[in-house]
A = this chain, B = another copy of it.
């Protein structure tokens, strides 16, 4: 999960838009100046608060987005309220499902975030004519598929302890591309969200975090700030090859 997540990072589709600073790599790089100018007429940069829904499960989708800052969670809900997070999108990930009008999941900001929204029609039209653009999107889809399948192993076969360690490892590896022994970061998810990501209850998540704290695998401050003292050890606990 971790490894590929880092390797893949550079391949992810970054900011698509007009005002997104100087970060016009990725998708934009695949366009001519002309296309870019035309395209930027349909993009909007937005700051959104934690909990803001980009689109709901079953809704018609009218825009795509690129994450510029923060974390967006992709969730599926059952009628009775049971919920599963099926993906976490970090900057500069693309959010959206080309070639489908209705979404099969909800995209919601897990933290305060900044996105660059793009009208669906505009991007669809460009994708239809710019093979490079589609190539970038295909790349990201394959990375997401790899991540989803890695997580299926976690959901189906790992213990609560291994699941929590896997989650911490995933986040730590994400915020530390250099893979140092010690990593510090703020958790982008609440205990409830972590539970929904791991298929566990908040109580179980809490208990496993406490145990890892007692074993000095992690240090936790303010329930949010985490320091992993030994990533190798964490990986071993997580059952990562």
Whether the pair B82, A152 counts as a contact (CB closer than 8 A) is no
Query: Which among B98, B152, B241 is the interface contact of A148 at CB below 8 angstroms?
Result: B152
Task: Provide the bound-state CA to CA distance between A131 and B104, in Å.
Answer: 27
Question: Chain A 185-227, CB within 8 Å of chain B: the 1/0 string?
Answer: 0000000000010110000000000000000000000000000
Q: Which residue of B lies closest to A144 (CB)?
A: B145
Task: Provide the bound-state CA to CA distance between A138 and B136, in Å.
Answer: 10
Nearest Cβ on chain B to A189's Cβ, whole angstroms = 15
Q: Give chain B residues whose Cβ lies under 8 Å from the Cβ of A174.
A: none
Q: Give chain B residues whose Cβ lies under 8 Å from the Cβ of A59.
A: none
The verdict on A29 contacting chain B, using a C-beta distance below 8 Å, is no
Contact A78 B134, CB 8 Å, known A84-B153, A156-B155 = no
Q: Among residues 83 to 109 in chain A, which have CB atoms less than 8 Å away from a CB atom of chain B?
A: 83-84, 86-87, 97-100, 104-105
Whether the pair B87, A149 counts as a contact (CB closer than 8 A) is yes
Whether the pair B104, A157 counts as a contact (CB closer than 8 A) is no
Q: Interface centre among A79, A135, A156, by most B CB within 10 Å?
A: A156
Q: What is the size, in residues, of chain A's interface with B at 8 Å between Cβ atoms? A: 43
Q: Give chain B residues whose Cβ lies under 8 Å from the Cβ of A158.
A: 82
Whether the pair A137, B138 counts as a contact (CB closer than 8 A) is yes
Q: Give chain B residues whose Cβ lies under 8 Å from the Cβ of A100.
A: 142
Task: Provide the bound-state CA to CA distance between A144 and B158, in Å.
Answer: 23
Task: Provide the bound-state CA to CA distance between A16 and B142, in Å.
Answer: 20
Nearest Cβ on chain B to A158's Cβ, whole angstroms = 8
The verdict on A53 contacting chain B, using a C-beta distance below 8 Å, is no
Q: Which residue of B lies closest to A82 (CB)?
A: B157
Which residues does A use to contact B, with CB under 8 Å? 4, 74, 76, 78-80, 82-84, 86-87, 97-100, 104-105, 131, 134-135, 137-139, 141-142, 144-146, 148-153, 155-158, 196, 198-199, 239, 241
9 contacts between A and B (CB under 8 A): A76-B149, A84-B152, A84-B156, A86-B152, A104-B149, A131-B134, A141-B141, A152-B152, A152-B155
